[in-house]
Copies of this chain bind each other. A is one copy, B any other.
Amino acid sequence: MAANSQFAIAIHVLTILAKSGDERVKSDYIAGSVNTNPVVIRRLLSNLQDANLVVSQVGATGGTSLAKHPKDIRLSEVYNALPCGEIFALHSKEPDQNCPVGRNMAAFLCSLQKEIDKTMEEKLNQYTLRDVIEKIDEA
């Protein structure tokens, strides 16, 4: 259960919001579709809000709706809105600095990590939430 599924759930949540248009959706409802706890959804929505992808309102008749059109929400934005880690982690303990390989490994891996991350971001940038909805609808 320790694999980060936040991105997957975020896509799911945003799709539901998109389908609801301007109507505010309650975390309880979303949780039902995702099959999880409302708090898990609210935690996620909190991240999406920080990234200006959704807008929530508290209080009775409260709920959440998209902050912009599905066509203006790129999956790269969604990915970056979440506190997901990197594609691969660096060493947990620092390598031996007396070893020429160990000494220079961290810097290399870090730049490789950045490059891969950029590649992934470019890929996700190609898709918007509207594309997702189209795919879902045609299924």
A interface residues with partner B (beta carbon < 8 Å):
1-9, 11-12, 15-16, 19, 32-36, 84-85, 87-96, 99-102, 104-105, 107-109, 112, 115-116, 119-120, 123-124, 127, 132, 135-136, 139
Contact = CB atoms under 8 A, between A and B. Distances in A.
A124 B135 contact: no
Contacts of A85: 3
Given A104-B139, A119-B123, 12 more contacts: A3-B92, A5-B91, A5-B92, A9-B91, A12-B105, A16-B101, A32-B99, A33-B95, A35-B91, A35-B94, A105-B136, A108-B135
Contacts of A96: 32-35
A90 B94 CA distance: 32
Nearest to A4: B89
Max chain B C-beta neighbours (<10 A), residue from A19, A88, A123, A127 = A88
Max chain B C-beta neighbours (<10 A), residue from A3, A100, A101 = A101
Contacts of A1: 92
A136 B104 contact: yes
A33 B88 contact: no
